[in-house]
Structure 1
């Protein structure tokens, strides 16, 4: 019997947020949770509800991943592992006390404070679920009937274990994302390291093989024209090709190169959003967003200031130069509807591009 759980891999600009909202609105009798990674994503989903229905229905809760873990899973069963209330989350990249042991949970998870380490929260939830013989997951089954987890490509470490436990439960779980947009990570745990980033797709296939979920591929984009979609796809040649549904012609469509000396005139003429890999990239004083910051956004046009290795890629067409930032470049390129331009002087090996 096929699973009711789904893993939906959607191309950038594929309308995944709209799809989630419309599914929830179509089933007002079902209690649903929509979980996403960042607060910006929470606001995006809330805005989409207001666009489609003018309200967020009473049967729907929209939560960030960390709020979901803390409020719905950790706090209700915290007394199975510790003797104090968890007041909040202590945001850390790595464990501050590397000598802490699991047999001292107060020190291991909270560092002796009332706030749990962000990179230990999922592990703590897993421990509470085990100590309570699965009560954490059973409580979720009573709270919700369907759970959507957006930006699924960003999960890592013990978060994967929690999601698998949910897939094995009575909940109907829908996981939505795009492995090519894995620019963030829920934590830096070494657990499930082989499934980190774009390689999360191998875990998706494993879940499908175990009949825990059905894997779906949605290859249409309503945002990018085909030339932009093709360039974005080139960063991940083994993934399914994206089909553009954007056939509008503006007279300035596709991939372009702009000399540094022409940037000012180009910006004045086309008003693109300036994007960069990180803040250290020189953008000639223009207001700019990092690629990661732009995730989830849409612009008519983008102007990308490449970093040094990005310039080498543009010049040679060798993707080895940008192998460590493919997700960031994919996100940056796929923000645009009509045109993507790179600030670049000299030759290029990028097929289908034009100099201005």
Structure 2
């Protein structure tokens, strides 16, 4: 069985690679994290085949976890009533791993960040592996960088199934975890080398080459990301574009008023009343030609001093997501110069 993880860069064709792997013969389970990416993958399957083939199942991770793994094995025993996507109260951590109260709230809803652990504690993993082997020949997981906590451990365990397994993700687009539970895998995303080794230790082939070149971003943007964010990103073909640090407030305001150029803010983009998104939330968006990234005081100062790579890891990753949305030109402006438009 082929088991591998492909580490990609932004715009390198992760979705295209997954869709190209699909055919009408092999039974495939395609798991992703976000609802947006689920809708996009489902659309791409429809686009390729003209319909949803019965041998291809596309679903979100928590639907897979609850409907495929949990319900057939534990639903009747525990009598749960759906899932709770809020973090459990702190006092629930004092319950023993074998106590149901650790995993269920007062309305008998399952805590999302402990469901994978519940399946392990209840001894369900062999049955889950058997179900996977019965129904699927191949298992694909997109956005693998966003899996953390007990969910990452479950993914590693699922690799023992007698099926092909393909993980695809961009480590540096890790902007949130599927779930956290205390110290479980707290340092998972602290270091790329150590992260890759976690896969290799499971006997999974680590591929850093297949999707290392961006088809979306120009050489100019890739060079900026590589130099200033210390993320090894290259362009698929030599192509230059404009990259401008806009220091004049009137020019920044012109960009703000441009209805075609998207403005990407660190947070609270809706307060500015323009064509905009937040840095992290723009992940997966692939249709922007020119992008204007709005920087707060700290990020602006670090841009001026060439020190952006020292931003907090989550902030740097979100900035990488924002910069890599640009198909052509990339502009940087100070948030201070747009304050008059904030409501």
TM-score by length of 2: 0.88
**What is the aligned partner in structure 2 of residue 254 from structure 1?**
243
Equivalent runs, 1:73-222 vs 2, <5 Å: 73-78=69-74, 83-98=77-92, 99-105=94-100, 107-128=101-122, 131-132=123-124, 134-189=126-181, 190-195=183-188, 197=189, 199=191, 201-217=193-209, 218-222=211-215
Partners of 2:113 and 2:150 within 8 A in 1: no
Alignment partner for residue 337 of structure 1, among 320, 327, 332? 327
Q: Sort the Cα spacing of 1:93 and 1:231 in 2 relative to 1 into closer, same or farther, 3 A.
A: farther
Paired with 1:318 and 1:122, the residues of 2 have a C-alpha distance of 39
Paired with 1:246 and 1:136, the residues of 2 have a C-alpha distance of 47
How many residues are matched?
331
The farther-off stretch of 141-150 and 42-51 is: 42-51
Q: Sort the Cα spacing of 1:345 and 1:42 in 2 relative to 1 into closer, same or farther, 3 A.
A: closer
Shift of 1:50: 2.8
Q: Sort the Cα spacing of 1:345 and 1:202 in 2 relative to 1 into closer, same or farther, 3 A.
A: closer
Report Cα offsets for 1:250-309 as digits up to 9, x if no partner: xx63344253322343355682111011117975x4242111110011210111111221
Partners of 2:5 and 2:199 within 8 A in 1: no
Partners of 1:32 and 1:59 within 8 A in 2: yes
**What is the aligned partner in structure 2 of residue 308 from structure 1?**
297
Equivalent runs, 1:209-288 vs 2, <5 Å: 209-217=201-209, 218-234=211-227, 236-237=229-230, 239-245=231-237, 247=239, 253-257=242-246, 259-267=248-256, 271-279=260-268, 283=272, 285-288=273-276
**What is the aligned partner in structure 2 of residue 354 from structure 1?**
none
TM-score by length of 1: 0.85
Q: Sort the Cα spacing of 1:133 and 1:35 in 2 relative to 1 into closer, same or farther, 3 A.
A: closer
Paired with 2:30 and 2:40, the residues of 1 have a C-alpha distance of 12
**What is the aligned partner in structure 2 of residue 17 from structure 1?**
15
Which secondary structure does the structure 2 equivalent of 1:174 belong to?
Answer: strand
Paired with 1:243 and 1:65, the residues of 2 have a C-alpha distance of 31
Which secondary structure does the structure 1 equivalent of 2:329 belong to?
Answer: strand
Q: Sort the Cα spacing of 1:246 and 1:71 in 2 relative to 1 into closer, same or farther, 3 A.
A: farther
Partners of 1:258 and 1:345 within 8 A in 2: no
**Runs of 5+ in structure 2 lacking a partner?**
337-343
Q: Sort the Cα spacing of 1:200 and 1:320 in 2 relative to 1 into closer, same or farther, 3 A.
A: closer
Partners of 2:282 and 2:321 within 8 A in 1: yes
Shift of 1:38: 0.7
